[in-house]
Each structure stands twice: as structure tokens, then as C-alpha cells.
Amino acid sequence: MQPALASFLLLWCSISIVSAQTTNNTFNYLQDRFPDKVYLDPEGSTFIVDYYKWYKVVTDRRNGNKYALVCCNQSIHLNQTQNFAGVFSLPIGSIVVMDTASIAFIEVGSCGLCPIKYWPIFYANFYRRDALVGDADRTLPLSLQLLEGSSLIKAAGSPNNITSNCVYNNLEAAKSLTPFNISKPNATQPFDVVFSTKALNDSKVVPIGLSDQLKPLQKAEWILFFGVFLDQENLAKNILFNIQNQYNCHRNNLANVGKKLLAWVNYDPISSAWNIDTDVYHNQLLIDAGATPLNPGASSIFTNISAFHQIMNQVQLVIDTTLFSTQQSSFYYWQVDAAYFPGQDPYNETFLTQKRVWRTDGLLNNAGFDDWSERSAARPDLALQDIIAIQYPTYQPNYQLTWFRNFARGDSSQHTEDISTDCTSASTIFGNWACSINPYTDPSTTFSISGIQSGSGSATADNASGLSPGAAAAIGLGASLGVAAVALVSYFGWRKHQSDPNHSFVRMEDM
């Protein structure tokens, strides 16, 4: 090698090393890299977040696991890494979801699945799908991935279970519809983080806590958890704030109605047993919807059909969540399993005579997996409104059910693939939410189910208005405009609340 060339290469290497060191040494470790922060009530939340200048630490209070999220290609002190169940570099670029529960939180609120009037008024692009046989058209809003994370999902443990069109189509386009097998050696190595509802022995796996022992708004608080991982704290807070306001408004409006007796039930064909759900999540949804959940007493599992009939005989409305086979998914077979036929049942149950048996599978993907299981935890405001609507159709006369269908009446399920969606992300979610403070009184002691349209049309008593679904949607949008000022006042009040260091908690105890 020529001496001149050798000298040049040596000089170039020296300059590169010095430059690299200078770049590293000029990182300002005193600068706060996280201007938007999440503060949670340490007593009422299942996780907490601690912020440092260039990294943040999420602590899962269920198990004590800590996760460090580090920005700017930096590292944390080596002697601290042993304290963490996982260390992740920000921004997160690729996500694996082992089950579908995480998806709705990553793309929370997105849907061509939600009634138009429950979305910000400035989303002006709407889509309509053709009606299924026997169903009216359903007007649907622009699909917005509010945490802007759906495109980050690169693999899934159960792709066929996914009901989100955007996530499924992304995986299909990337030829990633093979179920992710985490047991393979180094399976998680190409990805930044894996979210799972089960704890797995891998430093890239982050278990999420969506237990049914949480109240609906406590579950929704996990929006903040994903917001922290995606560096979208401010957006996540805004979403949760709107969901809380929507939920609490409807709950308060129904505070003084007559309490109908409702029951969540499901059948286990293996043990031939009927189960009445009594967990915190399902019971609280009923209570907040102005109902009384059935208390089955010492045991919620019934193998004796006579005992089941006796405990159910005063129930006014049933919500069934039985996992059906395709061959036995009709109401007839449900009655066979429950022995609800003349001569088998001595009671004249209201929920049978007035056809008040409902199911949450009003929205399915083509593989038959229901959207309720994927999305309802992230949208308790919509779950609550569905339960209110099936009891009190005059509360929101033009309401469109999101997940519920009248099983006893034979209403069909709709399919997510038939819904036109635009997966363009959006960073703004503010606007009006439809609920306004207006305490509701049940106008009649009788109960009419004739007007509630499962997944389509309006929920008026008899649809006597003659409005098309599109016109009904326009009325809903007009109603939204009418209370926009209330939403703005709430928003600016919340911003002041967030800026006050003496009021830094997102409180969850009363939810």
C-alpha cells in the first residue's frame, strides 16, 4: 500500500472515531425527551409509569414486572438492566400480537364498526356497504387507527381470529397469515415487542392485564399502557378522556330508571352445564346500563336444569355468550340445551315470551370469530350503549347497535369484511361525542323490542319516522353539532386539569 494512501486511511479512521465519540458525548442527558406523560393513581391502576430524561419505566402492579422504554439510541446504566423484565428501544417499529385482545388497544376506536354519531364531527368521509339479505344499509365512518399502530403489527398468534380489516389486510399483503409460533428458537428476535394476555418466558413478551375482574373503565385504561409503548401518551390520554366522558354521561343518564333484571349466560356442552357470569366486568356493565345483574347465589354453575329454570324465572332479558358450533347456532338448539319448551319448563319467563334473548356476536369475521371479544374491552362506551339500547330503545331513538343481535328473533350477524374501511391513520380525535346530560325516565313499564335493529337501521319504537338509515345518520350528526360546545368546554377543562401538578391522576376507582 502506498504510504500516502495508508496515511489517508489512518486519518479518516481517526476522524470517524472522534466524530462518533463526539456525537455520543453531545447527547443531552438533561433534556426531557418525554414532554407528554401519563400519571396514574397508584392505588387504583394496574400499572404505573415513571419517567426519566431519556427513558421511561412501566411497572405492572399485578406481578411487579418492570419494562424500560429507551429513546434516542441510548442505553440505561448497565447495572440497572437486571431490574427489568424487558428493555425496548423507542420508537417501536414491529409488534407481534399473540391474541386479538391487544389489537383494539393498538388501533383503539378504529372501526367501520361504530355508529356514525359517536365520532368526531369533523370526520366527513363516510362509507356505506351494501346491505346483507334481510338487513338495512348501515352507514359507517372513516376507519381511523387512533394510536396509529395497526401498521406496526407484523405477526399474530391467531391471524384467522382477527376481525380488524386493517390489521388482517396488512398481514395478508405481507404474506404473514401463518400463525406466529413463539416456541421456535429465536422466534421473537426480528420483532421489537410481543403483546400477549399470557405470561411467556421471553424478554420481548409483555403480558397485558385485561381480566374480567376489572371494571369496564379500568380495562379501558390499558389504552394508556399501549400509548406509553407507542410514544403516544397525549393521544392515548385524549382517547381515554373521551371514552370516560361518553361512558359516564350515559351511565348517569340511566341512574334512575327502573332496574330490569338481566343475566349473562353461557352453556358448556361438555359438562352439560349452564353458567351465569358474575365477574366484575360483566356485572358492572349491567349496573351502569341501569340494570340489575342476576345473583345466582352460592354457585353460578348449574348442571341441574330445574335449578337453572328456577333461578332464571324472574329474569327479564338474557345475554347469551355460548360458543356455538356452526351446526347448532340457532335459537332452537339453544332452547333444546336449556330445556325451554312446553312441558319442560314450568315458568313463563318474560325473556322467552317477549323474545329478549340477545347475543354479542352481531359482528363476525368470515371465519366466524366475533368482534366483541376483540374490541369491546377498548370501547366500553359502545358496549354500554348497546346494553342500554336493548333495554330502552327510546333512550337514543336512532341508535345503531354495534355488537348485539336479537337471538330470539333470529337476527343475523353482520360480517366485518362487508364493511368498507379506510385505514388512513389520524393524529386528531377531538370533536363532539354524542352524549349530553339528560337523565332518562322509562316512558313505559312495557318493553317493546320491535324497533331495535341489530347492526342496522334505527332503534326507534317502531321505526315510524320512515327515515332512511342515511338520514338517521345525518340526524345523529346534527345532534352532535348541537353539543359541540359542551365537548370543547370539557376538553379545555381537561387540559387545565392536566397542566395542574396537584391534579395529576387518571382516577379509576369510581368507574
C-alpha span between 67 and 238 (Å, rounded): 24
Helix (H, G, I), strand (E, B) or coil at 151: helix
**If you average pLDDT over residues 88-101, what whole number do you get?**
94
Cβ partners under 8 Å of residue 91, min gap 6: 71, 230, 231
29-44 residue pLDDT tens: 999 999 999 999 878 8
DSSP string, 424-475: ---S---S--S--------S-SS---TT--TTSS--SSS-TT---HHHHHHH
Query: What pLDDT is attached to residue 209?
Result: 86
CB count, 10 Å around CB of 60? Answer: 19
Is residue 406's pLDDT more than 50? yes
Query: What pLDDT is attached to residue 479?
Result: 35
Query: What pLDDT is attached to residue 51?
Result: 96
- Residues 228 and 71 sit within 8 Å (Cβ to Cβ): no
115-137 residue pLDDT tens: 333 333 222 222 222 222 223 22
Query: What pLDDT is attached to residue 18?
Result: 36
Cα 295 to chain centroid, rounded: 27
Query: What pLDDT is attached to residue 2?
Result: 57
Query: What pLDDT is attached to residue 429?
Result: 39
Is residue 333's pLDDT more than 90? yes
Average model confidence (pLDDT) for the chain? Answer: 77
- Residue with more model confidence, 355 or 14: 355
C-alpha span between 145 and 153 (Å, rounded): 12
C-alpha span between 243 and 173 (Å, rounded): 32
Is residue 357's pLDDT more than 50? yes
Query: What pLDDT is attached to residue 500?
Result: 43
Query: What pLDDT is attached to residue 360?
Result: 97
Strands 273-276 and 301-302: antiparallel
Is residue 232's pLDDT more than 50? yes
- Residues 500 and 239 sit within 8 Å (Cβ to Cβ): no
Strands 317-320 and 357-359: parallel
Q: Extract long-range pairs of 302-308: CB within 8 Å, 24+ residues apart.
A: 302/273, 302/274, 302/275, 302/276, 303/271, 303/272, 303/273, 305/274, 305/338, 305/339, 305/344, 308/274, 308/338
Query: What pLDDT is attached to residue 505?
Result: 33
Query: What pLDDT is attached to residue 327?
Result: 56
- Residues 127 and 473 sit within 8 Å (Cβ to Cβ): no
414-435 residue pLDDT tens: 998 887 666 654 433 334 456 8
C-alpha span between 88 and 111 (Å, rounded): 29
Name beta bridge partners: 326: none
Query: What pLDDT is attached to residue 3?
Result: 53
Residues in the chain: 511
Residue identified by cell 386528531 is 428
**If you average pLDDT over residues 267-290, what whole number do you get?**
97
C-alpha span between 503 and 511 (Å, rounded): 18
Query: What pLDDT is attached to residue 31?
Result: 95
pLDDT band at 476 (very low <50, low <70, confident <90, very high): very low
Q: DSSP state, 370? A: B
Nearest to 97 by CA among 220, 200, 206, 196: 196
pLDDT band at 78 (very low <50, low <70, confident <90, very high): low
**If you average pLDDT over residues 292-318, what whole number do you get?**
96
Query: What pLDDT is attached to residue 149?
Result: 74
Query: What pLDDT is attached to residue 424?
Result: 59
Residue identified by cell 374490541 is 375
| E-only strand ranges, 279-395 | 291-293, 301-302, 317-320, 357-359, 363-364
Q: DSSP state, 52? A: -
Is residue 203's pLDDT more than 80? yes
Q: Out of 3-12, 34-43, 144-153, which region has the weakest mean confidence (pLDDT)?
A: 3-12
Cα distances (angstroms) measured from residue 116 to each of 96, 99, 429, 486: 31, 28, 14, 19
Q: What is the dihedral of CA 440, 317, 259, 373, to 10 degrees?
A: -70
Task: Please return the burial class of 357, using the count of CB atoms within 10 Å of its CB with bins 0-12, 13-18 and 19+.
Answer: buried
Residue identified by cell 331495535 is 452
**If you average pLDDT over residues 186-210, what whole number do you get?**
93
- Residues 137 and 469 sit within 8 Å (Cβ to Cβ): yes
Which of the given ranges, 146-150, 198-202, 442-446, 493-497, has the highest pLDDT on average?
198-202
Is residue 316's pLDDT more than 60? yes
DSSP string, 228-266: HHTT-HHHHHHHHHHHHHHHHHHHHHTTTS--EEEEEEE
Is residue 147's pLDDT more than 70? no
Nearest to 153 by CA among 382, 430, 423: 423
Task: Please return the burial class of 290, using the count of CB atoms within 10 Å of its CB with bins 0-12, 13-18 and 19+.
Answer: buried
- Helices 484-499, 233-253: axis angle to 10 degrees equals 130
Strands 260-268 and 273-276: antiparallel
**If you average pLDDT over residues 438-461, what whole number do you get?**
56
467 — alpha (psi -120 to 50), left (phi > 0) or beta?
beta
Cα 328 to chain centroid, rounded: 28
Residue identified by cell 388482517 is 168
C-alpha span between 407 and 390 (Å, rounded): 12
pLDDT over 70 for what percent of the chain?
A: 69
